[in-house]
Amino acid sequence: MSTKVTTMRLPEPMAKQLAAIARAEGIPVSEIVREAIGEHIATRCLDTDLIKRLRKLHQEDGDALKDLGIED
């Protein structure tokens, strides 16, 4: 699986808490962040309102691509 590097800015207290938890669990901070993001995505994908908005965006993007002659 390929990866993408992402930079995050966290409030100092949150960064310290995250680092302490990572040390206590013996895992990298990045692993905690990936797990939290994965859980967030899984939860949000169950949100029917979000799914409706994603479908609308997909259709609008598709229409824009058609208007630009990029897609048929």
Q: Domain span at residue 50? A: 12-67
Report yes or no on 58 lying in a domain. Answer: yes
Report yes or no on 27 lying in a domain. Answer: yes
Q: How many domains does the chain have?
A: 1
65-to-2, 12, 24, 43 alpha-carbon distances in Å: 27, 42, 49, 30
Task: List the chain residues with pLDDT less than 50.
Answer: none
C-beta separation of 27 from 34 below 8 A: no
pTM, to two decimals: 0.74
Q: What is the pLDDT of residues 46-63, one digit of tens each?
A: 899 988 888 888 888 777
The predicted pLDDT at position 71 comes to: 67
- Mean pLDDT over the full length of the chain: 90
